[in-house]
């Protein structure tokens, strides 16, 4: 059994457990943590996680944030000026881009067909590195999570301390980590 299959098996065992409805927003987040070099393979095998979720009696929805920066930048009125002076972009990234990504995920969380038994998979998180902090995005989403938010997280987790792409200082988060 390969590493992705092992991760999917561990996820399957977890997702079958009863979902307490009194859990806080952060406790409704499931972090699928895997080595960054497995990102492409995981994208190809994400169906294993969807099948495990459906087999457990839950709905599965996906939101891919991989193209978020390009889509956000394409809407920016001063995008050409930012390419000439990238340092001017920093303030907008912290506020506007983070809000853009958050709203993109929130739009799936708030779809009428997404209920308390749904799992919403967030893919492409690694592409946010250097542009937005995953910790801020998750914090802003917590009130909107009614089922489970399944975050595909290329990086590491040790004692609930998460590091995206093993590169930045980690942050402590109350999510449920599923690791190899």
Query: So what's the pLDDT on residue 35?
Result: 95
Is residue 24 classed as helix, strand or coil in its secondary structure?
A: coil
* Percentage of residues in the chain having pLDDT higher than 70: 97
User: Among 139, 134, 140, which residue's Cα sits nearest to residue 155?
Assistant: 134
Q: Closest by alpha carbon to 163, among 19, 5, 31?
A: 31
3-state helix, strand, coil in the chain (%, to 5): 50, 20, 30
- The overall pTM is greater than 0.85: yes
pLDDT at 38: 95
Q: How many helices (H) and strands (E) does the chain have?
A: 8, 7
The whole-angstrom separation of Cα 171 and Cα 100 is 21
DSSP string, the chain: --HHHHHHHHHHHHHTS---TT--GGGGEEEEEE-GGGHHHHHHHTHHHHHHHHHTT-EEEEEE-TTHHHHHHHH-TTHHHHHH-GGGGHHHIIIIIHHHHHHHHHHHHTSTT--TTEEEEEE-GGGGTTT--HHHHHHHHGGG-SSEEEEEEEEEEETTEEEETTTS--EE--SEEE--
Between 145 and 167, the higher pLDDT residue: 145
Average pLDDT of the chain is 91
Q: Which residue has the tokens 């995920």?
A: 105
pLDDT per residue over 2-60, tens digit each?
Answer: 999 999 999 999 999 999 888 988 899 999 999 999 999 999 999 999 999 999 999 99
Task: Provide the angle, in degrees to the nearest 10, between the axes of the packed helices 98-109 and 134-141.
Answer: 40
Can you give the pLDDT at residue 104?
97
The whole-angstrom distance between residue 142's C-alpha and the CA centroid of its chain comes to: 12
pLDDT bracket for residue 174 (50, 70, 90): confident
pLDDT in tens, 82-112: 777 777 778 778 889 999 999 999 999 999 9
For residue 49, the model assigns a pLDDT of 98
């Amino acid at each position: 059994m390969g590493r992705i299959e092992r991760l999917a098996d561990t996820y399957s065992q977890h997702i079958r457990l009863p979902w307490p409805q009194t859990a806080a927003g952060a406790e409704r987040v499931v972090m699928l943590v895997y080595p960054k070099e497995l990102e492409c393979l995981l994208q190809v095998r994400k169906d294993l996680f969807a099948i495990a979720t459906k087999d457990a009696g839950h709905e599965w929805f996906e939101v891919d944030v991989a193209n978020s920066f390009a889509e956000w930048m394409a809407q920016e009125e001063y995008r050409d000026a930012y390419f000439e002076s990238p340092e001017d972009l920093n303030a907008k990234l912290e506020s506007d881009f983070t809000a853009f990504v958050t709203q993109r995920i929130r739009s799936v969380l708030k779809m009428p067909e997404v209920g308390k038994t749904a799992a919403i998979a967030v893919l492409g998180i690694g592409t946010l590195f250097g542009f937005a902090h995953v910790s801020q995005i998750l914090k802003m989403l917590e009130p909107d999570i009614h089922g489970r938010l399944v975050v595909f997280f290329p990086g590491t987790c040790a004692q609930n301390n998460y590091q995206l792409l093993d590169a930045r200082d980690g942050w402590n988060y109350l999510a449920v980590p599923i690791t190899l």
